[in-house]
């Protein structure tokens, strides 16, 4: 027999020092645990995957078909120049990508789409309305007043511009509700784009013509004014043209007088050299030459005065020539523009018209299901890890031992049997099963633990953190295993609040522990024989108003003392720890206290709270029993039990 004081004294030696969970966290990624999580949650993953696939299938089958028509055009950087008019088509030094992106945006322009709507007289029926769109319109109807603008936006959304790599070809796709409608709209978009491009070029030509007309008028007026100024100045200053060269009256006089001077001087020289000459003739000739020279000097003086007038004349003359050249150049440009405007060249050329599509573009069942499978798998895995994160139930033996600082002394597999009475007898009814072997292993472990005790008592208390952990079936099977090995075993149902052992073993519950503890029944009237050799049972008895007070009675200690003298093993099946004081009393009276844990059901918080309450009361928990394990590998317990060969008759 062991009291609470001896339990407190043994606490430090029998248990590991408690460490908080955060101190035991592992930083490395455990791929095996990752796989175990997926295995544990495979049902959830499969359910999410199936739901996503079914929703996608339903959505695909209920969605109206959509057809894609494609027209192909060639977009050149510049128009082929029939007439080289740089005034209209100046060179563009910007990046080629900017040019083509501009063309793509022009195809998607609002004005172009509105012109297509007017040309084809389109309505909303040309646009395929998906199932989600129809539901949205039903719940939130579109009250847009400008239906044309709404339709234009819808057409733009269903238009795709796709440049062909390493070429100047561009494909214009349109997705419509019908094959014919999609082809009509795609061709209309391309045709309208080409028309608008030509119109912009013709508009540029017209603007150039208007601009040049104004410039020609100005140039002509300036030329006429310059010519009038030149003529007026020439008349005022007696300037005339000789041999296609500028000349004046003074210039002619100088030339004439120069000739006369030369002639007169020649005559004087001739007279001087002629001996027959008279003096009077020589003097007359010299006087004449003198007069001519004087006249020449006067003319030269007048010519110098006219020099400034000549410079002004030349300036006026150059102005006339400049205006005349500008005027002629503008006239030539006007002729070139008129010719270029009549040539229908374009840098946008239609390569292939859109053909009526023979099959729908979407929805594609195979594609949608493929994406749905990936999405469903991703969502399923995400849901699995979210559920795993939110669920802190026991999933791994190593985590359980690390967080509780207690050894897991037994792993009890789950049974496919659903009847509780049969489950309680599995250790004997199926001796070659893994469950029977698990209880035999537990019995061996407990035997070694009891041998290491200083006292000679062999009282084992089976409890749990909360209800429905399977502790009663564990107690019955463990007792049967001990009894089958030849030990005299006493099994006591100490769960006075919710007794159930009598139902499992088929014994009476009218006279039991509560009757004895209340002084209404003697010890020798308590014990009942079970249907198992070497196994006796004490039922819980009648319902008690204060079970904790009864269990704390001296009569309970006397009963256990007497039981240890007559039985090899005494097993107490008690109530759960949390919320009740009964388990604390029973644990203080037991030799070993075992906490049963439902694998995959009991949360770590619940287990830690139960252990905390026991430790605060000075109770030593000697080990954990992991019960109802559906798959040992899932909880990190990879060792399987030895399988007996099947007997063949």
In the chain, what are the domain boundaries?
31-63+363-391, 66-198+346-352, 238-305, 396-635
Contacts of 405 (CB under 8 A, 6+ apart): 15, 16, 17, 18, 19
Mapped onto helix, strand or coil, the DSSP state of residue 629 is strand
Closest CA to 24 of 404, 505, 292: 404
Cβ–Cβ under 8 Å, residues 243 and 251: no
Q: What are phi and psi of 141, to 5 degrees?
A: -65, 145
Contacts of 453 (CB under 8 A, 6+ apart): 591
In this prediction, residue 134 carries a pLDDT of 63
Architecture of the domain defined by 66-198+346-352: 2-Layer Sandwich (3.30)
Q: How many CB atoms lie within 10 A of CB 293?
A: 16
- Per the structure block, which two tokens stand in for 183? 């082809």
Q: How many CB atoms lie within 10 A of CB 480?
A: 27
Buried b (16+ CB within 10 A) or exposed e, 595-618: bbbbbbbbebebbbebbebbeebb
- Per the structure block, which two tokens stand in for 139? 């719940």
In this prediction, residue 516 carries a pLDDT of 93
Q: How far apart, in Å, are the Cα atoms of 265 and each of 183, 281, 296?
A: 104, 13, 13
| Separation of CA 213 from chain center | 60
Cβ–Cβ under 8 Å, residues 427 and 480: yes
Residue 647 DSSP label: P
Give the CATH fold of the 396-635 domain: Rossmann fold (3.40.50)
Cβ–Cβ under 8 Å, residues 412 and 438: yes
CA-based angle 78:82:83, to the nearest 5?
Answer: 100
Q: How many CB atoms lie within 10 A of CB 171?
A: 17
In this prediction, residue 207 carries a pLDDT of 67
* 94-149 per-position pLDDT tens digit: 557 788 888 899 999 999 999 999 999 998 888 877 666 666 666 766 655 568 88
Contacts of 473 (CB under 8 A, 6+ apart): 420, 423, 424, 504
SS (H, E, C) 46-73: HHHHHHHHHHHHHHHHHCCCEEEEEEEE
Q: How many CB atoms lie within 10 A of CB 395?
A: 20
Report how far residue 649's alpha carbon sits from residue 647's, in angstroms, rounded to the nearest whole number.
Answer: 7
In this prediction, residue 141 carries a pLDDT of 64
Query: CB burial class (10 A; 0-12, 13-18, 19+) of residue 116?
Result: buried
* CA-CA-CA-CA torsion sign (598, 602, 604, 607): negative
Residue 485 DSSP label: T
Cβ–Cβ under 8 Å, residues 475 and 538: no
Report how far residue 186's alpha carbon sits from residue 21's, in angstroms, rounded to the nearest whole number.
Answer: 66
CA-based angle 209:88:351, to the nearest 5?
Answer: 120
Cβ–Cβ under 8 Å, residues 156 and 113: yes
In this prediction, residue 161 carries a pLDDT of 92
Q: What are phi and psi of 351, to 5 degrees?
A: -100, -55
Q: How far apart, in Å, are the Cα atoms of 273 and each of 280, 329, 390, 491?
A: 15, 66, 145, 182
The two beta strands, 569-573 and 489-493, are parallel
Closest CA to 608 of 390, 395, 392, 413: 392
Mapped onto helix, strand or coil, the DSSP state of residue 25 is coil
Closest CA to 494 of 566, 408, 584: 584
Q: Which regions of the chain are under pLDDT 50?
A: 1-27, 80-93, 242-246, 342-344, 633-634, 639, 642-649
Instruction: For 582-605, give the DSSP string.
Output: HHHHHHHH-SEEEEEEETTTSBHH
- Per the structure block, which two tokens stand in for 537? 């049972």
Same fold flag, 66-198+346-352 and 396-635: no
Please report how many Cα atoms fall inside a 13 Å half-sphere around the Cα of residue 461, on the Cβ side.
28
CA-based angle 569:575:578, to the nearest 5?
Answer: 130
Which contiguous run of DSSP H or E holds residue 412?
A: strand 408-413
Report how far residue 187's alpha carbon sits from residue 265's, in angstroms, rounded to the nearest whole number.
Answer: 98
In this prediction, residue 4 carries a pLDDT of 39
Residue with tokens 């209340």: 518
Contacts of 255 (CB under 8 A, 6+ apart): none
Q: How far apart, in Å, are the Cα atoms of 224 and each of 221, 229, 232?
A: 5, 9, 12
Q: How far apart, in Å, are the Cα atoms of 389 and each of 37, 321, 394, 574, 634?
A: 10, 94, 12, 32, 16
In this prediction, residue 647 carries a pLDDT of 39
Report how far residue 485's alpha carbon sits from residue 507's, in angstroms, rounded to the nearest whole number.
Answer: 22
Residue with tokens 């007792």: 479
Residue 647: asked if its preceding bond is cis (omega within 30°), the reply is no
């Amino acid at each position: 027999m062991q009291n609470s004081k001896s339990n407190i004294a043994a606490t430090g030696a029998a248990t590991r020092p408690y460490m908080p969970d955060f101190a035991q966290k592992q930083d490395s990624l455990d791929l095996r645990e990752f796989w175990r999580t997926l295995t544990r949650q495979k049902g959830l993953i499969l359910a999410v995957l199936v739901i996503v696939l079914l929703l996608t299938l339903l959505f695909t089958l209920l969605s109206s078909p959509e057809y894609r028509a494609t027209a192909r055009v060639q977009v050149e950087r510049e128009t082929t120049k029939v007439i080289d008019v740089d005034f209209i088509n100046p060179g563009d030094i910007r990046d080629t990508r900017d040019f083509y992106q501009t063309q793509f945006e022009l195809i998607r322009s609002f004005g172009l789409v509105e012109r297509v709507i007017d040309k084809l007289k389109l309505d909303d029926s040309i646009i395929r309305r998906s199932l989600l769109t129809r539901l949205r319109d039903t719940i939130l109807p579109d009250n847009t007043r400008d239906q044309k603008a709404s339709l234009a936006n819808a057409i733009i959304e269903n238009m795709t511009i796709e440049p062909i790599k390493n070429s100047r070809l561009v494909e214009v796709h349109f997705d419509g509700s019908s094959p014919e409608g999609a082809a009509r709209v795609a061709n209309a978009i391309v045709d309208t784009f080409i028309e608008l491009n030509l119109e912009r070029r013709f508009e540029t030509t017209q603007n150039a013509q208007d601009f040049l007309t104004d410039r020609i008028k100005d140039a002509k007026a300036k030329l006429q004014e310059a010519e009038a100024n030149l003529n007026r100045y020439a008349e005022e200053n007696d300037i005339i043209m000789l041999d296609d060269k500028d000349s004046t009256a003074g210039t002619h006089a100088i030339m004439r007088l120069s000739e006369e001077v030369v002639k007169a001087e020649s005559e004087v020289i001739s007279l001087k050299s002629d001996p027959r000459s008279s003096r009077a003739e020589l003097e007359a000739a010299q006087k004449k030459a003198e007069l001519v020279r004087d006249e020449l000097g006067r003319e030269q003086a007048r010519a110098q005065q006219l020099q400034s007038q000549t410079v002004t004349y030349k300036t006026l003359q150059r102005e006339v020539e400049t205006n005349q050249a500008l005027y002629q150049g503008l006239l030539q440009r006007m002729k070139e523009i008129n010719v270029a405007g009549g040539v229908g060249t374009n840098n946008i050329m239609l390569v292939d018209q859109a053909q009526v599509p023979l099959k729908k573009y979407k929805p594609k069942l195979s594609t949608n299901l493929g994406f749905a499978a990936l999405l469903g798998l991703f969502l399923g895995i995400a849901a699995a890890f979210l559920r795993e994160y939110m669920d802190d139930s026991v999933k791994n033996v190593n985590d359980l031992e690390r967080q509780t600082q207690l050894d897991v002394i037994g792993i009890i597999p789950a049974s496919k049997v659903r009847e509780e009475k049969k489950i309680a007898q599995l250790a004997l009814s199926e001796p070659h099963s893994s469950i029977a072997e698990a209880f035999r292993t537990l019995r061996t472990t407990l035997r070694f633990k009891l041998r290491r005790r200083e006292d000679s008592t062999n009282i084992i208390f089976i409890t749990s953190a909360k209800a429905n952990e399977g502790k009663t079936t564990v107690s019955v099977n463990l007792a049967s295993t001990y009894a089958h090995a030849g030990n005299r075993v006493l099994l006591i149902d100490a769960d006075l609040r919710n007794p159930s052992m009598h139902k499992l073993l088929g014994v009476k519950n009218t006279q039991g522990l509560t009757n004895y503890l209340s002084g209404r029944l003697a010890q020798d009237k308590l014990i009942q024989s079970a249907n198992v050799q070497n196994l006796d049972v004490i039922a819980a008895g009648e319902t008690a108003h204060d079970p904790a007070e009864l269990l704390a009675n001296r009569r309970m200690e006397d009963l256990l003392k007497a039981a240890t003298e007559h039985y090899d093993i005494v097993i107490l099946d008690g109530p759960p720890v949390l919320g009740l004081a009964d388990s604390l009393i029973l644990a203080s009276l037991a030799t070993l206290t075992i906490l049963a844990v439902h694998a995959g059901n009991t949360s770590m918080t619940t287990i830690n709270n139960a252990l905390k309450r026991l430790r605060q009361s000075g109770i030593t928990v000697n080990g954990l029993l992991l019960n109802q394990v559906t798959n040992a590998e899932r909880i990190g317990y990879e060792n399987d039990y030895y399988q007996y060969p099947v007997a063949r008759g």
